Amino acid sequence: MASVEVNGVSIQYPVFGVRSRNLRTAVANALLGGKVMKDSHDVVYVESLSNVSLSLKKGDRLGVIGENGAGKTTLLRVISGYLHPQKGVVRRQGLLASLINAGAGLDPDRTGRENAIIMALILGAKKSQLNRILTEIIEFSELGYFFEMPVRSYSAGMILRLSFGISTVVEPNILVLDEGILAGDQHFIGKARARMDRLYRETDIIVLSSHSMDLIGSICNKVLLLSQGRTVFFGDVQEGIRLYDSRSYLSGEAPKRQIA
């Protein structure tokens, strides 16, 4: 049974070589978002996530929303296993596919084919399925002869096509997605969204970060609203969207709310 448990997770990044308070704040926010802090040794750091907890089970579609720098991408990276929290625990059960950064997990010195084979096997494909899977990735990505060339020779758009094709060809139990990754040419966006529509219906658990409240409202059954790395709201989708649209939480007017 697929599940995701995030218990008391905190992530902090030190920022070195910044002295002025105003400059420190501007640089840290620009680089990482989150809350700027200073410890007892006068080391500046950004608290990108602070004591975040959530629980997801089969059938859950979580929309992660918030302003730029709220900690959305950091949370997606933690759930995906790309980042390890300084505090707290993340537990995942089930096969997970992550579409956060194009190229994540790809070896630039290997060809598209070699990367596709390795990643497909990591995602749980059987060797007997590889011929079919590779054919589907080739057709979907439209890389042509570049499929046999090292990934370091690819453009950003080509890397996205390969990453997307690999991550979605083997159906995962858990899909972690930053919707912004789908920026690209209109032809590919159409193909990608058609595949995503199927995954939205069939994947056990989805964690989706997006600035589109229409998309969040149409897909998700739970919302997590983050601000400066902290949970403002976790619960009903429409209530969370209304709070996000009101921006009242930015001034501290809205209390933190969370449901089990």
Q: pLDDT digits over 231-247, tens only?
A: 999 999 999 999 999 98
Residues 198 and 108 in one domain: yes
One domain for residues 88 and 111: no
Closest by CA to 237, choosing from 4, 42, 63, is 63
Average pLDDT over residues 76-95: 93
Q: Please report the pLDDT score of residue 59 as a whole number.
A: 95
Beta carbons of 154 and 161 less than 8 angstroms apart: no
Task: Average the pLDDT over 167-184 and give the result.
Answer: 82
For the stretch 8-32, pLDDT in tens is: 999 987 766 555 455 455 554 544 4
Which CATH number characterizes residue 128's domain? 3.40.50.300
Query: 90, 9 in Cβ contact below 8 A?
Result: yes
pLDDT digits (tens, 9 = 90+) for 107-166: 999 999 999 999 888 878 889 999 999 999 999 999 999 999 999 999 988 998 898 888
State whether 181 and 221 are in the same domain. no
- Examine the domain organization and report whether 165 and 239 are in the same domain: no
CA Rg value for the chain: 19
The predicted pLDDT at position 47 comes to 81
Residue 39, pLDDT above cutoff 60: no
Q: What would the mean pLDDT of 185-210 be, rounded to a whole number?
A: 85
| 231 & 172 share domain | no
Same domain for 196 and 103, yes or no, is yes
For 50-83, the pLDDT digits (tens) are 999 999 999 999 999 999 889 999 999 999 998 8
The dihedral built from the CA positions of residue 117, 123, 127 and 132, taken in this order, carries a sign that is: negative
Q: Do 141 and 117 share a structural domain? A: yes
Total domain count, the chain: 2
DSSP state of 147: G
Measured in whole angstroms, how far is the alpha carbon of residue 162 from the centre of its chain? Answer: 17
Reported pTM: 0.80
Residue 247 and residue 154 in one domain: no
Q: Looking at the DSSP assignment, which residues form a beta bridge with residue 45?
A: 14, 37
Task: Give the tens place of pLDDT for each residue, 150-168.
Answer: 999 999 889 988 988 888 8
Statement to judge: residues 198 and 215 lie in one domain: no
Whether 197 and 26 have beta carbons less than 8 Å apart is answered as no
Domain final residue, candidates 186, 203, 220? 203
Based on the fold, state whether residues 83 and 19 are members of the same structural domain: yes
What's the confidence (pLDDT) of residue 89?
Answer: 96
* One domain, residues 170 and 184: yes
What residues make up the domain containing 186?
99-203
Domain boundary, last residue among 176, 203, 230:
203
Q: Based on the domain organization, do 12 and 47 belong to the same domain?
A: yes
